Amino acid sequence: MTTEETSRFVRLRVELVLEVQDDDEVTKAALRRLAQDPELQATERAQAESAVTEDTAEALAYLVDPFDLVSDVPGVELQQASWSSERIDYDPDSPDWELDEDDGVDDEEEDGIG
């Protein structure tokens, strides 16, 4: 492909597994961030507060912002982002555990080979 045919858009996939050692600290941090968000309307704030209080995974999803990951990278502008979080069973010693196992894309397909 020539430079003119190459897309300027890049999909960056990041998967993290975090061990939550203190649910209360995560929830408190999410509530502090919500309290400081000037763009949230009262009803949205109440819904978000309820979600982060009931589920630590939701609190983490509120605290981790993809924009923060790339905002200081020169020469790029975030076009779209989506992320989610969920509780999982994780055994780092299990041979069944692999990053990318849920993405449905073979490595060969991802590389444009398949």
Q: Is residue 6 part of a domain?
A: no
70 to each of 41, 47, 96, how far by Cα in Å?
Answer: 27, 28, 31
How many structural domains does the chain have?
A: 1
**pLDDT digits over 12-66, tens only?**
888 888 999 999 999 999 999 999 999 999 999 999 999 999 999 999 998 998 8
**How would you write 65-90 as a 3-class SS string?**
CHHHHHCCCCCCCCCCCCCCCCCCCC
- Structural domain including 86 reads 23-110
Q: Is residue 78 part of a domain?
A: yes
User: What's the CA gap between 59 and 95, in Å, rounded?
Assistant: 30
pTM across the whole model: 0.69
**pLDDT digits over 68-104, tens only?**
889 999 999 999 998 888 888 888 888 777 655 555 5
Q: Is residue 4 part of a domain?
A: no
